[in-house]
């Protein structure tokens, strides 16, 4: 076994072969289509190239907000707009300041609803999901474990804007026992409207 550092290390040279890829002009354009882009009236005057992209911006279409790529239909030599995935603008993240008194807090805030969302009576969304976390304000060094619940106390929809009132009940584990949360906190919200 050698103890010389000169014997350690990699090769003196490395060769890298690079494939230049498919010849021709690659598609690089991004378009907005008014509906399914495979329907000619959705992208009037556009002549797509392979690998171009488009997004369906028609809120009444069943594939609203899908991103498509112009490519071969799998197993064929026919070019078409192939749906890839759906963009998700129906999620809102918010950080709301809250003051807790004896474990209770009320907050109210506005959320812009996405176009084409499913609504029930009075424009109120039928399907939504709210996730939240309660944390200390910035500058606090220790975050105690928190157990909490919420209730929507009011919901008004006007002109595509939802004004939401929420009530929170929370306790935190401090000094070996669960006590009501008190003082200034931040409520981190993720609201998804379907």
Please name each of the domains of the chain with its CATH number.
Answer: 30-86 (no CATH), 91-193 (2.60.40)
Please tell me what DSSP assigns to residue 73: P
pLDDT in tens, the chain (194 residues): 555 555 556 677 778 877 776 676 667 899 999 999 999 899 999 999 999 999 998 877 778 888 999 999 999 999 999 998 888 667 788 899 999 999 999 999 988 776 656 566 666 667 788 999 999 988 887 899 999 999 999 888 887 788 899 999 999 999 999 999 999 999 999 888 76
**99 and 105 in contact (C-beta within 8 Å)?**
yes
Whole-number pLDDT of residue 135? 93
In which region does residue 103 sit, left (phi positive, over 0), alpha (psi from -120 to 50) or beta (all else)?
A: left
What contacts 63, CB < 8 A, 6 or more positions away? Answer: 36, 56, 83, 86
Tens-digit pLDDT profile for residues 6-50: 555 667 777 887 777 667 666 789 999 999 999 989 999 999 999
pTM of the full structure: 0.56
What contacts 134, CB < 8 A, 6 or more positions away? Answer: 98, 146, 148, 168, 170, 181, 185, 186, 187, 188
Which residue reads 């809120």 in tokens? 59
192: which strand partners? 91, 129
Q: What is the DSSP string of 109-143?
A: EEEEPPTT--B-GGG-BSSEEEEEEEEEPTT----
**56 and 68 in contact (C-beta within 8 Å)?**
yes
Alpha-carbon Rg for the chain, nearest whole angstrom, is: 27
């Amino acid at each position: 076994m050698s103890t010389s550092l000169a014997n350690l290390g990699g090769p003196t040279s490395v060769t890298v072969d690079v494939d230049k890829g498919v010849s021709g002009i690659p598609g690089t354009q991004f378009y907005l289509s008014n509906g399914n882009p495979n329907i000619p009236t959705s992208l009037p005057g556009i002549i797509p190239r392979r690998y171009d992209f488009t997004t369906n911006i028609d809120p009444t279409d069943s594939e609203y907000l899908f991103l498509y790529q112009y490519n071969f239909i799998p197993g064929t030599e026919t070019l078409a707009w192939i749906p890839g995935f759906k963009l998700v603008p129906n999620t809102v993240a918010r950080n709301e300041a809250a003051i807790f008194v004896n474990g209770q807090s009320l907050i109210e805030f506005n959320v812009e609803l996405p176009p084409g969302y499913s609504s029930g009576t009075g424009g109120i969304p039928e399907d939504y999901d709210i996730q939240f976390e309660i944390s200390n304000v910035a500058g606090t060094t220790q975050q105690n474990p928190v157990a909490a619940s919420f209730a929507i106390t009011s919901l008004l929809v006007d002109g595509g804007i939802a004004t939401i009132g929420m009530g929170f009940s929370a306790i935190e584990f401090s000094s070996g026992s669960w006590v009501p949360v008190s003082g200034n906190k931040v409520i981190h919200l993720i609201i998804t409207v379907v």
